[in-house]
Chain A
Amino acid sequence: MTESSLFKRTAAELAEAVAAGEVSAVEVTGAHLDRIAAVDDAETGVHAFLHVNREQALAAAGEVDAKRAAGEQLGPLAGVPLALKDVITTADMPTTAGSKILEGWQPPYDATITRRMREAGIIILGKTNMDEFAMGSSTENSAFGPTRNPWDLDRIPGGSGGGSSAALASFQAPLAIGTDTGGSIRQPAAVTGTVGVKPTYGGVSRYGLIACASSLDQAGPCARTVLDAALLHSVIGGYDPLDATSIQQPVPDVVAAARRGADGDLSGMRIGVVKELGGEGYQAGVERRFGEAVEVLGKLGAEVVEVSCPHFDYALPAYYLILPSEVSSNLARFDAMRYGLRVGDDGSRSAEEVMNATRGAGFGAEAKRRIILGTYALSSGYYDAYYGQAQKVRTLVTRDFEAAFEQVDVLVSPTTPTTAFPIGEKVDDPLAMYKNDLCTIPSNLAGNASASFPCGLAEEDGMPVGLHVMAPVLADDRLYRIGAALEQALVSEWGGPLLDKVPELETA
């Protein structure tokens, strides 16, 4: 097999080839490391990775090969490379959360999902770029420079998990991990033509996920195909005693659901189009691709109806009170006392002065903005009006979902109002930036499962559009069934995967 035929293949294909001995895990890993070296330059390339772990990745791949040689049973993704968002702790690699304040910090422990992936024989290539502490929708808030969208290097790859989505779309890894607090898995997936799933809150352990907003954060699988995402989901999902919010129930069989969906039969499925998530502010090409995708689902046998979720209109403002409140508390620990950046410690300053200087120098503008907002929203005298009211809206949004799921099995909307915008376009307009997450935020507030699947390119700019599917809590399997059905229908319509249309990147 040639190198390019290796890095263009899906995770399922690679795992099968490794298991069958057609190719070694070391060869697969080497091909992807070479691809990273070729296309990921920080100045001129995609810049998906902040850190690449070449030696250790090859060593881990060697272990998989040795196990196979010894006749041991390999896991379903053994030997498959993965790009890990730099917000998940790794005991053998730095973890920065995209922030100067953690530059060079090497955690002494693996996150639960890191451990589960290693045990499954997944090869962690390195850590991917992100908006600082997962706050942003473009990866421009990274302290280490932006990531570029492989479809058009002048455009953003989404955020906060732009490094993970760009790594997938530029064939640097077939699998990636993202985290989603308001859309940070789904929006990058949508704007890069990849698959991103935000599992049910509590379905995947948060132990070792550096918190942005604890009640909203959820790690999840990112891939180029629905089946690959399902395979990764089943590796990382499930109860973890180290995470008190982890659900003590088995993960639904998402792999079986993806395989079933690939049969292309959605009869019996009821799909609700959310009335509030469309119309004014939505790009024409996005609405067109979305409408066509819904038509496809209907043709596959699903019953499509319109559903109203009236409180979704208030989800965004509520989110921007709850999120900063939790951020202001979660980010308090970055104070130079125990780890990370320390500024101004020249022996003349008090601990408090060093804390102030470090936080002033270490946090970027968006982190500071949200810390200030959250500190304000939680202060006495304002708590009821801001945090308290926002929690009430959160309850109403959850009830909208519950009522909707009495009528339909899943809800759908566009994932984002627009396609990927040019780098720099919205950096000075936080409110415009926040609107990227209009459709994705309700699921974070309610904690239910949702995902973005590629549904074509907008004609006006040739950039990818995502179909957003929302399922009830613990019904993650429905996402995969619908995603796989849509995928097989569209791939046959297009004559190949959407990502075949990504322009060839200049290689170094």
Chain B
Amino acid sequence: MPATAAALPSFSEAIARFDPVMGMEVHVELGTITKMFCGCSTEFGADPNTQVCPTCLGLPGSLPVVNETAVESAIRIGLALNCQIAEHCRFARKNYFYPDMPKNFQISQYDEPIAYDGWTEVTVDTDQGARTVRIGIERAHMEEDTGKSLHVGGATGRIHGASHSLLDYNRAGIPLIEIVTKPIEVDAELAPAVARAYVSSLRDLIRALGVSDARMELGQMRCDANVSLKPKGTAAFGTRTETKNVNSLRSVERAVTYEIRRQAAVLDTGETIVQETRHWHEDTGETTAGRVKEEAEDYRYFPEPDLVPVAPAREWVDQLRTTLPEPPAERRARLQKEWDFTDLEMRDVVNAGAMDLVEQTIEAGADAAGAKKWWLGEISRTANDRGVALDAAGITPADVARVETLVKEGTLNDKLARQVVEGVLAGEGSPDQVVEARGLAVVSDESALGAAVDEAIAAQPDVAEKIRGGNMGAVGALIGAVMKSTRGQADAKRVRELIIERLTP
């Protein structure tokens, strides 16, 4: 088996012979105030083992009680993914031994998920423009998170080679929603981009629902990618691998690409794919074999006897349906139409993560082109330079709209507007404060402007003579002089009018 990426067939070689089938499993930590089955805080970053109680530590005699808000979040996620919501469903125990699992079983859902049989649409950008792909959702179910193990003394941070392990149960019992897709079969060349777009769109949806911050870098959203290959034109699925903990959008795309190439290489040599979990390595861009699933672990699921079934009233579900935000794909299409952007323009806005900001800037009074220009121009550059998110660059949509208004009113010209934005980004205050402090307003006092024009004519009598003689090309030299004397704060169009007024009959 080829050991390095360089020895593998290229992606296009791989998909020339094989079609990939994907399945995505995404875990989302809900942003509830308390844990799934007890009243402990879920706040991130507390000292180890300070947010624990008898229940989330699994102490003898303790019992779980379901967090209603978590159930509500699960139902809203299910509805937003166009799922059926179970009228009656049970929790189940998933039994296996691991030190970071306090009870040595996880309370999860097995054959009765709260939400099932849904779909969502994601948009991918292709050479032929944006394409919308429908992803089937198998199920979304509720479960509790485990604690965290810290393996000490080994080289890799993994349990192998460690001298001992430390356990932190603060995370134990934090509510999770696991969202599982149906098999995803798309045009082979789109597969990695679709995987990425799905996770990205799911993240946007979770955030729009307000049920989690879904920050992948904090583990609030974790993705496992299942990939299998089948020879082109055949129907039966191949053996799949499950690449665990692919925790950034870019990694999702890279990991799927890598697995497609790796599996193609294995199949090319006539070997078979081993059904196993694989680890993703961000640094090398490769996956390595983890636990072999050949002897499938027997979790001995059975209905959790300490909890009563969840039976959400239909009226409640209907009421929750009215609280859903617009689906991200629909919203993107609607805004593109409203803003009159081309596919390419819209893609730039989305890729820059500027859709919300542009929308808010327009709501604050700017026009679409102006809003896009600022967010994708000056502000993006500054944010990139500082390595911060666009919305943390130091300027608000209201500020940007105000700058645009000042331009429209003639108070600022384009050059001055740039200076104002620069001032706001530098922390000098609101656009009006920057105009005031830097003295940047366009000179609009007619008499002052007239005086500056007269001064320029007097200073360059030869140029004035040419204009009088009908050489309009010479006007520019006088405009330049006026702009210089007003430090660029004059409206060039008005200056031109004044010069011509004075020098032509």
Give A residues with C-beta under 8 Å from B: 88-89, 95, 97, 102, 105, 107-109, 111, 206-211, 213-215, 241-245, 325-326, 328-329, 332-335, 337-339, 351-352, 355, 375, 378-380, 383, 387
Contacts and interface: CB of A to CB of B under 8 A. Distances in A.
Nearest to A216: B305
Contacts of B300: 328-329, 375, 378-380, 383
A207 B305 contact: no
A109 B97 contact: no
A335 B59 contact: no
B105 A329 contact: yes
25 contacts: A97-B60, A109-B62, A207-B63, A211-B60, A213-B305, A241-B65, A243-B63, A244-B66, A244-B307, A245-B305, A245-B308, A328-B95, A329-B93, A329-B300, A332-B97, A332-B104, A332-B105, A333-B103, A335-B104, A339-B59, A351-B99, A352-B97, A355-B99, A378-B301, A379-B298
Contact of B63 (A244, A338, A375): A244
Contacts of B95: 328-329, 332, 378
B226 to A, nearest CB: 20
A329 B94 CA distance: 9
A442 B167 CA distance: 43
A210 B61 contact: yes
B102 A338 contact: yes
Contact of A351 (B58, B59, B165): B165
Contacts of B298: 379-380
Nearest to B37: A244
B64 interface: yes
Given A332-B95, A333-B102, A111 B307 contact: no
Contact of B103 (A102, A326, A332, A380): A332
B305 A326 contact: yes
Given A107-B61, A244-B63, A335 B99 contact: yes
Interface string B177-221: 000000000000000000000000000000000000000000000
A347 B170 CA distance: 26
Interface in B105-141: 105
Interface string B51-83: 000100111111111100000000000000000
Question: Top 5 A-B pairs ranked by shortest CB distance?
Answer: A332-B104, A215-B305, A378-B300, A214-B305, A210-B60
Given A337-B99, A352-B97, A107 B59 contact: yes
A102 B99 CA distance: 18
Mostly, the B contact residues are: loop
Interface string B274-317: 00000000000000000000000010111001111000000000
Given A207-B63, A244-B66, 19 more contacts: A108-B59, A109-B59, A109-B61, A207-B62, A208-B61, A208-B62, A214-B305, A215-B305, A243-B65, A245-B307, A245-B308, A332-B97, A332-B103, A333-B102, A335-B97, A337-B99, A338-B57, A339-B59, A351-B99
Contacts of B97: 332, 335, 352, 355
Interface of B: 54, 57-66, 93, 95, 97, 99, 102-105, 165, 167, 298, 300-302, 305-308
Contact of B302 (A111, A210, A329, A355): A329
Contacts of B104: 332-333, 335
A89 B61 contact: yes
Contacts of A208: 61-62
A107 B59 CA distance: 8
Tell which of B60, B165, B301 has the most Cβ of chain A within 10 Å: B60
Interface on chain A toward B: helix, strand, loop, or mixed SS?
Answer: loop
A351 B159 CA distance: 10
Contacts of A351: 99, 165
A208 B55 CA distance: 10
Contacts of B60: 89, 95, 97, 102, 105, 107, 210-211, 333-334, 339
A103 B438 CA distance: 77
Contacts of B99: 335, 337, 351, 355
A111 B61 CA distance: 8
Given A95-B60, A242-B65, A333-B104, A378 B54 contact: no
A241 B63 CA distance: 10
A343 to B, nearest CB: 15
B101 to A, nearest CB: 9
Nearest to B304: A214
A379 B299 CA distance: 8
A467 B118 CA distance: 57
A380 B306 CA distance: 22
Contacts, number: 100
A442 to B, nearest CB: 18
B63 A337 contact: no
Contacts of A242: 63, 65
Nearest to A240: B63
Contacts of A89: 60-61
Contacts of B165: 351
Contact of A244 (B64, B93, B102): B64
A383 B302 contact: yes
A12 B292 CA distance: 65
Nearest to A245: B308
Nearest to B53: A109
B162 to A, nearest CB: 10
Nearest to A359: B97
A462 B97 CA distance: 50
Contacts of A352: 97
A134 to B, nearest CB: 12
Which of B66, B300, B307 has the largest number of chain A CB atoms within 10 A?
B300
A244 B306 contact: yes
A109 B302 contact: no
Contacts of A109: 54, 59, 61-62
Contacts of A380: 298, 300
A335 B301 CA distance: 20
A355 B104 CA distance: 11
B48 to A, nearest CB: 13
A388 to B, nearest CB: 9
A211 B61 contact: yes
A332 B58 CA distance: 10
Contacts of A379: 298, 300
A89 B55 CA distance: 13
A335 B103 CA distance: 9
Contacts of B57: 338
Nearest to B105: A329
Nearest to A388: B302
Nearest to B300: A378
A95 B59 CA distance: 12
A328 B64 CA distance: 18
A435 to B, nearest CB: 25
A160 B128 CA distance: 74
Nearest to B297: A380
Contacts of B93: 329
Nearest to A213: B305
B302 A378 contact: yes
Contacts of A337: 99, 167
B210 to A, nearest CB: 27
A274 B463 CA distance: 123
Contacts of A329: 93, 95, 105, 300, 302
B61 A88 contact: yes
Given A244-B307, A329-B105, A387 B61 contact: no
A347 B400 CA distance: 63
B302 A387 contact: yes
Given A88-B61, A329-B302, A378-B302, A244 B105 contact: no
A467 B373 CA distance: 88
Contacts of A244: 63-66, 306-308
A325 B301 CA distance: 10
A115 to B, nearest CB: 12
A459 B305 CA distance: 43
Nearest to A380: B298
Contacts of A241: 65
A345 to B, nearest CB: 10
A473 to B, nearest CB: 15
